[in-house]
Structure 1
Amino acid sequence: MDKPKAPFPPYPAYKPSGVPWLGDIPAHWEVTPLFALMKERDERNQGNREQNVLSLSHGRIVRRDVKSNYGLLPASFETYQIVYQGDLVLRLTDLQNDQKSLRVGLVEEKGIITSAYVALIPKIDSRYAYYLLHSYDIQKVFYNFGAGVRQTMKFEDLKRFPILNPPLPEQRAIARFLDRETGRIDALIARKQRLIELLREKRAALITRAVTRGLNPDAPLKDSGVPWLGKIPRHWEVRKNKAIFFEVVEHSESGSEELLTVSHITGVTPRSQKQDVTMFMAESLVGYKVCQPGDLVINTMWAWMGALGITPILGIVSPSYNVYRGRKSVEVELHYLDYLYRTPPYVAEMNRFSKGVWRSRLRLYPDEFFQMSTPLPPLPEQRAIADYLDRKTGRIDALIQKIEASIETWKEYRTALITAAVTGKIDVREKKLSPRRKGRKGKGGMQVAGMQGAGEKRHHQEDLPLATCKPVWRSWRLCEIHYEDCSCLI
């Protein structure tokens, strides 16, 4: 597949900025301290005169639903500060512990926001200012500003922060360019994310159908006697979980066994394989529950989300989890049960049997789990179902991974594009751009393999049937549309 490139030219001349993370900048740009281009917004919500509560979420200023009572709420919103459209909001708290959150947002409407955040009134183009500070944010500049990492930064700490100050027409041109290009990229990412949602829905439906109806669509059916299960193949049986499992309570004496985690997404996996895990770690693992390969482990606190699975190796889990072992008197393929117990209908049944006042506080205890029912085909059929699902879900999972990798690539490109534009590494003034033109890369500039920066060229219209790409396909089809290439995935 050809790899289109993004032909964004550099500026004609550059000069040193004197700022390490900015490098060289266009010769006619200036570096100006923040206090000369922005001032602090400091207007308290006295008398609760403003009721529109805002929040900084994933780099966006959004309305907050205070009626849901989600998260911590103050006794009075009089301590909040009023912000206006075009203001910038920076969350510069907890800098030592949280280096992942996006900390800069642009206010789109009048409202109030916590006074723990720094609110700025830009004297320059507000959207350019937002993109510039957002670029600083994703480069993690705030974490190393001044004399080392600080837990919290206030406006006083930002006053001499270096701000790139191109002429106002260029600020507006850069903002328009980034609005247009990031909008296209965001729309593309949204389509890919929707595609992943559809794939996961298909995966869940495929599993549910196989573990509750089998692989033979013509098999005679009978009433299972279980409301959520409905009809099942006539030769299947239904057993109470108490007849299939017994609880195991065996505590580790050394805590040296492999620590396992239990997730609704990945089932039971070694914690050492988890990336970016921020969960609390006990000082000692002595007393954790031991589980053998083939044991069923249920995260008691998150069973309502489907956090359970079959243990692949010898290990230990939290003492608050429940460990179950299969009875020798019942023939079961544990891999089949692993698929069954994590299906949406079975998870819903776990919700029904769980105890607790609020959904987030539901607990599935052994007595309730043992009352639940499990459909059991003959052992060879259980194995056939598990093998079938391994093949089918493996293909879907591989496709999801490919799309997720594509999304990450586009996110990286988006980040690089913003940084290059606001720091003057590329010249995006309208008179320089030719959206459909491809050119050679000059000195400097920006090329990104596999992506075109301005404009979209598609091999077909998005609203055409997916089969138009490759009509010879006979299975379900999925089409992933790039800026300038069409990769049809199956």
Structure 2
Amino acid sequence: MTHLRAKSLTRIGWLQGISIPSDWTESKVKYVAPGMQAGEAITAESIELTGTYPVYGGNGLRGYTKQKTHHGTRILIGRQGALCGNVHLVTGEYWASEHAIVARPSDTADARWLAYLLDIMSLGQYSQTAAQPGIGTAQINALSVPVPPAQEQRAIADYLDRETARIDTLIEEQQRLTELQWERRAAVVDAALAPLSSWTRTALKHVLDGIDQGVSPQAEAGLADEPGAWGVLKAGCVNRGVFRPEEHKRLPDGFLFDPAIAVGEGDVIVSRASGSPDLVGSAAIVEHLDYRLILSDKLFRLQPRRSTDSRFLAWSLNSGRYRVQVRRAISGADGLANNLPLSKLRGFEMHFPSLEEQRRIAAYLDDQTAKIDMLIVETERFIALARERRSALITAAVTGQIDVRGVA
């Protein structure tokens, strides 16, 4: 059951003029989460793989340590890097690394409500740096927040626990469906690329005229979507065999580079490095370009010979046989975890039929995977909409736009 409520206009900046219930108060984060502090650095001596205390950093659970510095219910906030501002509600005993900020709810604040509130505030936007995002306790403490009465905090948390669990379950189901579609896609690719006795077995370097590699400039946040602007591709621009031109960062105006590393349609690009071993070596062909882009130093561009069809080469670099070789190359590269050495890539065993057969197989795979890709895009769009719905629901509840006091 919902109720009509009197509203009062708030001056809290991030609420952008939204009115909050008149019986709510305005406060600062430092009062609802006193004593906020950064975690501690983890040394080799503090790590024990068989330990019992989870280590939390900006990206959540990272490992185990034989030391613990915190216990009870706390809120962990990502302090720096790509996950700056991420919020995790944790309980029990744990170690907070130097990449996390520990927030302890006040005696009058419900921890679950506070975690939801901090999450929708998008704390990462208050970072003072662009190249390596980072946020400090002083920045978070100074932010104003709307605070409902204690009983309503619990009601909001109960409501959101229930409703977000439903949405999360739906998202997980769709994610499993997406993974099944990716597995089906991989099976189609592997079946079409199963080598016949008439195919030539050779090292990758023998079907190439060369391999290019880009540079690693100090790029800016945002896209190169203005006239004359250039961008540098990220390593993840070819994840899972699909080229995504929007995966780049804008280059500073006036940045000079060798025109030879400019990206063009038809280029075959391979990812050299990734935070995930499963994505190292990802490869795709550049289908279209909406921006002017260059290669980064974490990308290779393969130059196929005239006897090698570019599309067939790209499909071959998405086969199971290729992935097995990538995993072996990564595990065998001393000091280069999650990096694909160029020497290993050049030596990968490949199988090629005649040029005419390459073109026929590539056309077949283009057609068959297009149908699967359409299903994947539809599913991912559904997931994105569900996440937007989740975020909007949390925002409405913690700002009093929906009254959950009488909701069973």
TM-score, normalising length from structure 1?
0.61
- Residue of structure 1 aligned with 2:94, choices 93, 104, 111: 111
Q: Distance in 1 between matches of 2:334 and 2:161?
A: 46
Structure 2 vs 1, CA of residues 86 and 306 (structure 1 numbering), >3 Å: closer, same or farther? same
Q: Distance in 2 between matches of 1:382 and 1:313?
A: 22
- Residue of structure 2 aligned with 1:207, choices 176, 183, 189: 189
Partner of 1:305: 280
Alpha carbons 1:295, 1:326 under 8 Å: kept: no
Where 1:199 maps in the other structure, the secondary structure is: helix
Q: Which amino acid is the alignment partner of residue 167 of structure 2?
A: I
Kindly state the Cα deviation for residue 337 of structure 1 after the two structures are TM-superposed. 2.1
Q: Distance in 1 between matches of 2:34 and 2:312?
A: 62
- Residue of structure 2 aligned with 1:86, choices 61, 73, 92: 73
Name the stretch that deviates more: 11-20 or 396-405: 11-20
Q: Distance in 2 between matches of 1:239 and 1:187?
A: 47
Kindly state the Cα deviation for residue 88 of structure 1 after the two structures are TM-superposed. 2.7
Q: Distance in 1 between matches of 2:298 and 2:152?
A: 59
Partner of 1:274: 246
Name the stretch that deviates more: 131-140 or 279-288: 279-288
- Residue of structure 1 aligned with 2:256, choices 284, 288, 305: 284
Is structure 2 residue 6 aligned with structure 1 residue 13? Answer: yes
Kindly state the Cα deviation for residue 42 of structure 1 after the two structures are TM-superposed. 6.8
Alpha carbons 2:238, 2:271 under 8 Å: kept: no
Alpha carbons 2:56, 2:76 under 8 Å: kept: no
C-alpha deviations, 1:232-259, integer Å up to 9, x for none?
Answer: 435444345455333367999xxx9997
Structure 2 vs 1, CA of residues 373 and 419 (structure 1 numbering), >3 Å: closer, same or farther? closer
Q: Distance in 2 between matches of 1:346 and 1:27?
A: 62
Alpha carbons 1:288, 1:319 under 8 Å: kept: no
Higher relative contact order (CA 8 A, sep 6+): 1
Partner of 1:360: 338
Q: Distance in 2 between matches of 1:301 and 1:235?
A: 34
Q: Distance in 2 between matches of 1:259 and 1:196?
A: 29
Where 1:40 maps in the other structure, the secondary structure is: coil
Name the stretch that deviates more: 388-397 or 104-113: 104-113
Q: Which amino acid is the alignment partner of residue 54 of structure 1?
A: V
Q: CA RMSD in A?
A: 4.4
Is structure 2 residue 196 aligned with structure 1 residue 233? Answer: yes
Q: Distance in 2 between matches of 1:307 and 1:244?
A: 19
Q: Which amino acid is the alignment partner of residue 170 of structure 2?
A: L
Q: Which consecutive unaligned segments of at least 5 residues does structure 1 have?
A: 1-7, 68-75, 145-149, 213-231, 434-490
Structure 2 vs 1, CA of residues 176 and 246 (structure 1 numbering), >3 Å: closer, same or farther? same
Q: Distance in 1 between matches of 2:201 and 2:209?
A: 17
Structure 2 vs 1, CA of residues 200 and 276 (structure 1 numbering), >3 Å: closer, same or farther? same
Alpha carbons 1:87, 1:122 under 8 Å: kept: no
Partner of 2:175: 193
Kindly state the Cα deviation for residue 409 of structure 1 after the two structures are TM-superposed. 0.9
Q: Which amino acid is the alignment partner of residue 73 of structure 2?
A: G
C-alpha deviations, 1:424-469, integer Å up to 9, x for none?
Answer: 110112x345xxxxxxxxxxxxxxxxxxxxxxxxxxxxxxxxxxxx
Kindly state the Cα deviation for residue 405 of structure 1 after the two structures are TM-superposed. 1.1
Partner of 1:416: 392
C-alpha deviations, 1:52-80, integer Å up to 9, x for none?
Answer: 2431445xxx443147xxxxxxxx96xx8
Partner of 1:215: none
Q: Which consecutive unaligned segments of at least 5 residues does structure 2 have?
A: 41-45, 216-228
Structure 2 vs 1, CA of residues 280 and 120 (structure 1 numbering), >3 Å: closer, same or farther? farther
C-alpha deviations, 1:140-182, integer Å up to 9, x for none?
Answer: 5x569xxxxx964435x66664343323222111110000001
Kindly state the Cα deviation for residue 112 of structure 1 after the two structures are TM-superposed. 2.5
Structure 2 vs 1, CA of residues 237 and 426 (structure 1 numbering), >3 Å: closer, same or farther? same
Q: Which amino acid is the alignment partner of residue 121 of structure 2?
A: Y
Partner of 1:171: 153
Q: Distance in 1 between matches of 2:54 and 2:329?
A: 38
Structure 2 vs 1, CA of residues 54 and 317 (structure 1 numbering), >3 Å: closer, same or farther? closer
Where 2:103 maps in the other structure, the secondary structure is: strand
Q: Distance in 2 between matches of 1:17 and 1:251?
A: 49
Q: Distance in 2 between matches of 1:56 and 1:190?
A: 24
C-alpha deviations, 1:385-427, integer Å up to 9, x for none?
Answer: 2122111111111111111111111111111111111111101
Q: Which amino acid is the alignment partner of residue 405 of structure 1?
A: R
Kindly state the Cα deviation for residue 122 of structure 1 after the two structures are TM-superposed. 2.1
Partner of 1:450: none
Kindly state the Cα deviation for residue 13 of structure 1 after the two structures are TM-superposed. 2.0
Q: Distance in 1 between matches of 2:14 and 2:231?
A: 42
Is structure 2 residue 257 aligned with structure 1 residue 265? Answer: no
Name the stretch that deviates more: 21-30 or 417-426: 21-30
Alpha carbons 2:201, 2:352 under 8 Å: kept: yes
Partner of 1:229: none
Structure 2 vs 1, CA of residues 136 and 290 (structure 1 numbering), >3 Å: closer, same or farther? closer
Alpha carbons 2:213, 2:261 under 8 Å: kept: yes
Query: 1:426-445, aligned counterparts within 5 Å?
Result: 426-429=402-405, 431-432=406-407
Q: Distance in 1 between matches of 2:333 and 2:253?
A: 26
Kindly state the Cα deviation for residue 356 of structure 1 after the two structures are TM-superposed. 2.4
